[in-house]
Amino acid sequence: ENLYFQSDDHFGLHGLVFRRTFAIRSYEVGPDRSTSILAVMNHMQEATLNHAKSVGILGDGFGTTLEMSKRDLMWVVRRTHVAVERYPTWGDTVEVECWIGASGNNGMRRDFLVRDCKTGEILTRCTSLSVLMNTRTRRLSTIPDEVRGEIGPAFIDNVAVKDDEIKKLQKLNDSTADYIQGGLTPRWNDLDVNQHVNNLKYVAWVFETVPDSIFESHHISSFTLEYRRECTRDSVLRSLTTVSGGSSEAGLVCDHLLQLEGGSEVLRARTEWRPK
């Protein structure tokens, strides 16, 4: 049986779903008075770390357990899918539900539901897949039994987004992209506590090549990210976007690519948009 608890409780039990409440701040809304996709994802990222802390698997780092630290391991996000039904506005209060589960033999899945606290309406669903990487060799790792022993008791067999909702992503190049911008580089404030570029910075770079006219007339209804490789503080990136009409309810579909100036893929993405 799942146990629901508030963010100020600190105990680990089997089958946990974590809840954290957020009031929408004035600085999180844009010209249309609603929050951005980045604000929503920031709430989910904050809930993730508080969840890990509450069930005792935070260890000595942001999401790094004690057994992971012993083995120079860290979680890296490989894929994220977000589906948005409605964006909250200033003055709303939302509740983020977060839980973790297994993904195959070597991955960990995080799922999220964001609800309107007043009505209970589900505003956003999200799933994110992470895998282990060795911080010294930069190679992916299987999950050691000792690490699985730390995180396994908190796993839940439930999903917020089904796999068949997530479409295969397209690869872009200079000839197929409608919009290209180069010279993108991380700044100091883009790094997280592990000295890596924050995952949400990649989203901001994707948006560099989305025309303002789309943001003015449409909301993002779904967003899929596939992280292909790391970038460092010294990296220089290019953002590519192509825009097409689609048969989806979003009305518009955009495919995106982030790549290093040398050509290596950093991230593929797909956004679907519905008219405001």
- Active-site position among 196, 218, 219, 256: 196
At what angle are helices 37-54 and 199-207 packed, to 10 degrees? 170
Instruction: Give catalytic status of residue 194 as yes or no.
Output: yes
**What burial letters (b/e) apply to 81-101, b meaning 16+ CB within 10 Å?**
bbbbeebbeeebebbbbbbbb
* Dihedral sign (CA 27, 30, 32, 35): negative
Minimal CA–CA distance to 196: which of 166, 168, 233? Answer: 233
* Dihedral sign (CA 17, 121, 109, 187): negative
Task: Give the three-class secondary structure for 213.
Answer: helix
Residue 94: beta bridge partners? 22, 116
SS3 content of the chain, % helix, strand, coil (to 5): 20, 40, 40
- Active-site position among 81, 231, 254, 256: 231
- Residue 116, class by beta-carbon neighbours within 10 Å (0-12 exposed, 13-18 middle, 19+ buried)? middle
- Active-site position among 42, 194, 198, 199: 194
Instruction: Give catalytic status of residue 254 as yes or no.
Output: no
Distance CA 64, CA 5 (A): 22
According to DSSP, residue 197 is labeled B
Instruction: Give catalytic status of residue 106 as yes or no.
Output: no
What are the residue ranges of helices labelled H in the chain? Answer: 37-54, 66-70, 145-151, 199-207, 212-217
Q: Is 166 left (phi over 0), alpha (psi -120 to 50) or beta?
A: beta
Tell me which residues are annotated as active site.
194, 196, 231
